[in-house]
Amino acid sequence: MPKDRCVRARGGLVERHSIDFVPAGERHGRPSSLFALWFAANLQISAVVTGSLAVVFGLDALWSVVALLAGNLLGGAVMALHAAQGPRLGLPQMISSRAQFGVRGAAVPLVCSIVMYIGFFASGSVLAGQAVGHLAHTGETAGIVVFALATAVTAAVGYRLIHRVGRLAAAVGALAFVYLGVQLVRSAPLGVILGEHHFSAPLFLLAMSLSASWQLGFGPYVADSSRYLPRDTRPGAVFGATMGGSVLGAQWSMGFGALAAAWHGGGEGDEVGNIVGMGGSAAITLLLYFAIAFGKLTVNVLNTYGGFMSIVTGVSGFRRIRPVGPLARSLYVGGIMLAGTTLALLGRGNFLESFSTFLLCLLTFFTPWSAINLVDFYLLSKEGYDIEALADPGGRYGAWNVRALTTYAAGILVQLPFLSTELYTGPLVARLGGADVSWIVGLALPALMYGLLARRGPGRRPRGKDDALGSGVPAPAELRSR
């Protein structure tokens, strides 16, 4: 890259990269920025609703808080291991899946990730739309549309604006949740709520599944936000900052949601109004509506940004595409916005049931992907990939990796007997007392299966230190800086 263009790229607000490799000259930032970003992404109303579901499903407040913490810690650790890949590779998260699934085979988990992004965009728009509708007195429908447009504009601008919004949202969200927490402590009989507890293993595991699925859902795009960090950034620092921000923000929100639900009940319908109703005065209520809408913006932008990356990655595996500039990025983002907004408008009437089912079903498809990706990167490929081969269907990673695809399919199928959702309940759930342990099975067995199968296949080890990490060799046209 010419030096003058590198300077412009580093100083400009509009992002120039998409799925291409980020060269050393454009790396910047510190791991601490990841803490603020993921803290903001989790300190928000959807996490509050997720925490309340544990109580709605029948678990008491005390064990709900403990179960949610256990799920956040386990899922957050897996998610943060994905984040640590970003500085090492300088690539978005899902394009590294080509090393496991093949350049074209990676489209299989990519389809699942795109569905996830659109689903999270829709659920986030429903809740933020309620807040915007109350704030502007426009109604929920108009609020959903306005929020979707704000999300699309921020995602189209790209990486730098996303991090700036995240830092500001972290501060606004923390103030709002401190205030709501004080109101909860002052008003709710917390001693009574926490004193009435009885342990139920099935409900405990269900609550764990809710928070673990929340964290694992970030896995397919968490490295998108860390790939601009310098390559020599310590993996432990990236892991700690990402996990710390994500777990702290999520547990704060979910714990609040569980306690509020135990006090007031689940509150079907206007989920945002039920929370803001604790605020008190009219002025405080308006500020809380703003904080909720602004807090949702960070994570909805991340979902839109990740969806854009996944679509481009999937398409480029089958045919070469032109460089993805700001205009093309805006068109991709606009398509995601339209799909997510349509789904939000259609599904807003039965939000809680749809959202809980979506979270648990989502977990089924992403636990095997996480297991395969982490085993391959950390244990088999020793934290490095051949960057050139990630764009070549005829190269060392091939077009389709049957071993990985077979493991992925088996990882989904093996969970079905243990799965418990509104749509489907597996035959072994009753024998386990109603407990859903599908996500544990979906992590452990695919990790073992892929580790055994992949060791027998070609192309597992990088050819050399430099090209494995994307330096010292020019990136191919598809991954070259634009």
Q: What is the residue whose two structure tokens read 């007195």? A: 137
In tens, the pLDDT along 193-250 reads 898 888 988 899 989 988 998 898 888 888 888 888 898 889 999 999 999 999 999 9
In tens, the pLDDT along 375-411 reads 999 999 888 888 888 888 888 899 999 999 999 999 9
Query: If you write DSSP's letter for every residue of 407-456 in order, what string do you get?
Result: HHHHHHHTTGGG-B-SS-B-TTTGGGTT---HHHHHHHHHHHHHHHHHTT
Query: Within a domain: residue 39?
Result: yes
Which residues constitute the domain of residue 230? Answer: 31-360
| CATH code, domain carrying 172 | 1.10.4160.10
AA identity, residue 434? G
pLDDT at 79: 93
In tens, the pLDDT along 287-337 reads 888 888 887 887 788 788 878 878 888 887 777 766 667 777 788 888 888
| Distance of alpha carbon 116 from alpha carbon 121, whole angstroms | 8
| Distance of alpha carbon 204 from alpha carbon 64, whole angstroms | 7
CB 296 within 8 A of CB 124: yes
Query: Within a domain: residue 456?
Result: no
pLDDT at 107 over 60: yes
Closest to 371 (Cα-Cα) out of 309, 311, 440, 306:
440
Query: Within a domain: residue 259?
Result: yes
CB atoms within 10 A of CB 416: 16
Query: Within a domain: residue 117?
Result: yes
pLDDT class for 349, splitting at 50, 70, 90?
A: low
What pTM did the predictor assign?
Answer: 0.82
| Distance of alpha carbon 449 from alpha carbon 332, whole angstroms | 36
CB 206 within 8 A of CB 357: no
pLDDT at 479 over 60: no
Average pLDDT estimate for 356-362: 68
Q: Above pLDDT 70, what percent of the chain?
A: 82
What phi and psi, each to the nearest 5 degrees, are found at residue 425?
A: -130, 125
Query: Within a domain: residue 96?
Result: yes
In tens, the pLDDT along 2-45 reads 333 333 344 456 556 566 677 777 787 888 889 988 998 898 88
| Distance of alpha carbon 386 from alpha carbon 173, whole angstroms | 41
Cβ neighbours for 365, distance < 8 A, ≥ 6 positions apart: 109, 112, 116, 412
CB atoms within 10 A of CB 197: 14
Query: Within a domain: residue 439?
Result: no
Q: Above pLDDT 90, what percent of the chain?
A: 24
CB atoms within 10 A of CB 195: 11
Query: Within a domain: residue 446?
Result: no
Q: For the chain, how many structural domains are there in total? A: 1
Query: Within a domain: residue 245?
Result: yes
| Distance of alpha carbon 116 from alpha carbon 104, whole angstroms | 20
Tokens in use for 46?
Answer: 């959807």
AA identity, residue 450? Y
What phi and psi, each to the nearest 5 degrees, are found at residue 420?
A: -135, 105
